[in-house]
Structure formats: C-alpha cells, structure tokens
Amino acid sequence: MSATQLIVALDFPAPEPALQLARSLRGSVAWVKIGLELFLSGGQPLLESIKNMGFQIFLDLKFMDIPNTVQAATAQATRLGADMLTIHTLGGEKMCRAALAGRDNALCSGQTPPLVVGVTVLTSLGPEDLVWNNEKTKDISEFIVHLTTLAQSWKLDGVVCSGQEVRALRRVCQPEFALVTPGIRLPDAAASDQARVCTPAQAMRDGSTFLVVGRPITRATDPVIAAAQYLNVMNEPFAEE
C-alpha cells in the first residue's frame, strides 16, 4: 500500500478564503477536499483554480440517486478533474456500478481515473436513528463491515470510515482498497464537534489510506504550521505517542 496521504478539508462558505489557504499550502500538502458548501459557492471555476495550483481534489458531494443520474454525475465530476469522489453505498449495487461506468466512460486519454469511494453509514446516525419494526439496529459497526464488503465486491475503490472502524474494515479489505478517515486529531487538539476522533498514528497503524483534517488546520492561527505538524507525525507515526 502507498504511504498514507493527508487531505485538508477546505470547509469555507466562499471561494476566496479557500483559495488563500490553498495558495499557502501549495507545495506541502498534496490533497484538498472540496465539499458541498464550497462547491455550491465556487463551482467549476474554483475547482479548476485549485487544480491548476497542482492539488489533487477530493470532491466530496456524496452522490445518491437513481443509477442513470449518478452515472451522469460521476462522469461530470471526472470531466471536471476530480481525483477522488464520494457516493453513498446505500444507493445499492446498480447505482454503485453505474457510478463506476460514468467515471470510466468520461475519462480522457491518459487521465488517471478518480477514485470512487463509498460512504457507508453517516457517523451522525446512531442506533435510535436506525429503527426497523420497532427494533433498533444493535450493531451498526457490523452493518458497516457488511456494506464495505459489498462496496469492495462491486469494485468501488474504497470507503469513508471513522478512525474507530479502520482496523475492522482493513481486515476484510484488500490492501489497495482505500480507507478515507475524517475526524483526525493530534493527541492534544480539541475534538470540536467530532464525537469519535482518532490520532493520525492510530489511524495509520490500523490501515487508513487518507486522513481528512479540517478545522485543526483551517482554523489554526498559522495553518501552514498546523499542516506541517500533521505531516510530521504522519512521516514518523510512532513518535506521536
């Protein structure tokens, strides 16, 4: 498996602060995440500007719709130059396979295919949200393992998962299947509203492929120094604890 990569989540309501931060991180960080809020405010021109700075783009728009619509959406994201994009695995096998077909059919010659990564169960959902026939889902983690196994069999390139799930998922996944982990914090950092956080060293030890870090970098007094702190521990994961 290739070395774990840091993705900085550019969670801003407008293009300008995102571009400013991207300019300052250019050369040290390889990947940035563009989510719903930023994409809806900056759209294609913003994505192109960030791409032209040399970043790899994780376009996290979490597609879920009928297969035909998702196929068209992943094709469009591929044409825009996304390097990784998200869909919901709960959209089912037909939708997931259509997402891959959309990606594959839209590739230009020589273009590296963007990774198509599945969201399993949103971490904001608990057993009380997943009630069926008056019964709560007892073990969400078992369901997440099941969805991940399905995602791998449908040929998705990976899943998004919390730090608490990485170890169990890595056991059922091939080494090249990407595990994309948000909620990452250095040991002394504030958790913000993330309920289940994990250190970079722990996530890497357990087998995470990409670590997604937002506010600890975007809201730091000096985001460049904050990013460097994450990159340092990622280069020497066992020195962290």
Provide the annotated active-site residues: 62
**Should residue 26 be labelled a site residue for ligand C5P when binding is judged by CB under 6 A?**
no
Listed in sequence order, the residues at least 6 apart from 14 whose beta carbon sits closer than 8 Å to its beta carbon are 41, 42
- Closest contact distance (angstroms) between CB of 120 and ligand C5P is 9
Q: Tell me the three state secondary structure of residue 50.
A: helix
Report residue 34: phi and psi, to 5°: -110, 120
**Should residue 199 be labelled a site residue for ligand C5P when binding is judged by CB under 6 A?**
no
**Should residue 118 be labelled a site residue for ligand C5P when binding is judged by CB under 6 A?**
no
In this structure, are strands 5-9 and 31-35 parallel, antiparallel, or unpaired? parallel
The DSSP secondary-structure symbol of 198 reads B
Q: Which is nearer to ligand C5P, 96 or 197 (CB)?
A: 197
Exactly one of 116, 160, 201, 226 binds ligand C5P (CB under 6 A); that residue is 160
Handedness of CA 171, 3, 215, 54 (dihedral sign): negative
Stretch that binds ligand C5P, among 87-95, 136-144, 164-172, 210-218 (CB under 6 A): 210-218
Count of chain residues binding ligand C5P (CB under 6 A): 15
**Should residue 208 be labelled a site residue for ligand C5P when binding is judged by CB under 6 A?**
no
Q: Check if the beta carbon of residue 198 is closer than 8 Å to that of residue 230.
A: no
The helix or strand, by DSSP H or E, that contains position 15, with its residue range, turns out to be helix 15-25
- Closest contact distance (angstroms) between CB of 185 and ligand C5P is 7
Q: Which is nearer to ligand C5P, 71 or 194 (CB)?
A: 194
**Should residue 203 be labelled a site residue for ligand C5P when binding is judged by CB under 6 A?**
no
